[in-house]
Amino acid sequence: MRLRFTPMVAMALTATTLLLASSCTKDDGAAASNSAKVKVLLIGFPDQDGIDPVTGADTPGIGELKKRFNDTHSDIKLEIVNIPWGEGATGYAPKTEAMMKAGEACLYQMPGAPAYARKGQLVDLDEMIKKDPEFKNIWGSQLDAARSWGPSNPEGLWYLPANADERVIHWDSKLFKDFGVEPLSSTPTLDEIEQKAARLTGKNPVTGEQNYGYWYQGKYAVWQFLAIAHTLGASWGGVTDSGALEVNWNTPEYLKALEWFAKMSKYAPKGALASEGMPQGFLSDKNIVALIPEGEPGYFLKQMIAQPKLSDRFRTTINLKGSDGLGGVNNVQPLAMAASCPSKDAAWTVQKWLAGDPASQKYYFDAVGRLPLIEGSESLVSKVAEMPDGKAILSQPRTAEPLYPWAADQPRWALQTALEAALSGTLSPKAALEKAQKETAKWLSEQGTK
């Protein structure tokens, strides 16, 4: 999935549009049933059962997820509202806002969870965990990554990570062999990528075709840039004790990252700056790009499952990592509980099941290809685990950076515009970052958070 307002988006809601806290609806038929009712908002799942056009496998509709829970929990009735990602006024963001305002649901698949948390609209799950002696962290470092500032707790836990997409690095083993370049390592560095991209750019000694050593998605360069910068020790800022965002793009680390990125863009084919996805010919014999960072599951995972030989040529490794062992944009889908939910104990049971039960995790993969995060989940997605690079594919979501709380706000768009200017050569890297910072500072001041 992609971090944009399309069915591929997964990150954050606009902080300036957040409304009041919501509550879990009560069972209108309580007189007829003793079961607690918990309504959940989910995004982007199929309404009906179907057949995957790529793999030919069955794709279960959202009713299957509901059935799996209700069949094993007689004391709670799960209700699911399933909406498409959509775009703009018809996207998931306005619908989420409307449901929060009306108190229509208790649990929310909520890409913008940190922003809602800053408004005091979510339950701090640390309080639920204190009352739950059976709770166990089965999500690894992504549970810590779910922590952010809230009025009641500056390091509160505001959601559970339900499932994830990812961004990985692909490399074409055939092109590497044609040029006599050593395979990409399992934990690539900027130096390794730079050296090999340079050697892989030029006339292919075997085919005679012009090949390129590097690729970037120009229209979404912000995520690739942040992965580069993180490995160089850059930090976008943070949240103050009072909950105010502090964002600073104009730092030596970001400048070094952008200078490197601009240099690497010279090894990419024309058209990369305007691109929104993979290079032409990806996953085919016509591919001409050797190193392809920021690959997303929608572009390769189901295709490789359907045609296993593809994974022999098109190899996959984890994204760039910083000194903290993390790296790559976080594509986790948060599952959060509304602060005004009147049935918190029942909702907590549902929340844990939706985010951590093997039955729910397998459903997410079978339905839309989203990857599980829980311990031991390799057995749930055996076709992925058995790939040559299955370990890398399944480990990347667990080592992504924490969610960016500004990911759908002006700091992102200011940085993206600046990156495009620097990559096109219309602004120097230094001038581009100064421009991004000026626009970001203006937005922060307008929020009353500067």
- Write the single-letter amino acid at 388: P
Q: Where are the domains of the chain?
A: 15-164+332-394, 168-317
Does CATH place domain 15-164+332-394 in 3.10.310.30? no
State residue 201's pLDDT score: 98
Give the span between the Cα atoms of 365 and 111, in whole angstroms: 18
State residue 97's pLDDT score: 87
Distances from the Cα of 14 to the Cα of 96, 226, 227, 343, angstroms:
11, 20, 22, 28
Helix (H) or strand (E) holding 170: strand 168-172
Residue 132 CB-density burial (10 A; 0-12 exposed, 13-18 middle, 19+ buried) = middle
**Terminal C-alpha separation, the chain:** 32
- Relative to beta strand 36-43, strand 107-109 is parallel
Helix (H) or strand (E) holding 336: strand 332-337
Low-confidence ranges of the chain (pLDDT < 50): 1-32, 449-450
- What is the b/e burial string over 147-175, where b = at least 16 CB atoms within 10 angstroms of the residue's CB? bbbbeeeeebbbbbbbbbbbbbbbbbbbb
Residue 57 CB-density burial (10 A; 0-12 exposed, 13-18 middle, 19+ buried) = middle
Give the span between the Cα atoms of 362 and 371, in whole angstroms: 9
- Write the single-letter amino acid at 438: K
Q: How many residues does the chain have?
A: 450
Q: Which single residue is written with the structure tokens 């018809």?
A: 90
Measuring CA to CA, which residue among 77, 76, 13 is closest to residue 43? 13
Tell me the fold of 168-317: D-Maltodextrin-Binding Protein; domain 2 (3.40.190)
Which residues of 377-416 form beta strands (DSSP E)?
none
The answer to whether 183 touches 176, Cβ cutoff 8 Å, is yes
